[in-house]
Amino acid sequence: MAGGEVFTETCWQDAWRCDALLLPGGGDLEPWRYGEANTASRNLDPVRDQQEYLLMQQFAVLRRPILGICRGLQTINVYFGGSLLQDIPGHSTVGDIDRLHRVRTVPSLLRELYGDEGIVNSAHHQAAGRLGAGLRVIQWAPDGTVEALQHTALPVWAVQWHPERLAPGPGGTADGRQLFQAFLQLVGKK
The Cα-based distances of 43 to 36, 38, 117, 170 in angstroms read: 16, 12, 32, 34
Q: Which of 30, 36, 101, 164 is catalytic?
A: 164
Count of C-beta atoms within a 10 Å radius of residue 96: 6
Catalytic residue among 18, 52, 70, 125: 70
The reply to whether 18 belongs to the active site is: no
Active-site hit among 124, 125, 151, 162 = 162
Measured over all CA atoms, what is the biggest interatomic distance in the chain, rounded to whole angstroms? 44
Q: Are 77 and 84 in contact (CB under 8 A)?
A: yes
Nearest CA among 93, 113, 115 for reference residue 102: 115
How far is residue 188 from each of residues 19, 20, 100, 152, measured CA to CA in Å? 9, 10, 31, 20
Q: Which residues are catalytic?
A: 70, 162, 164
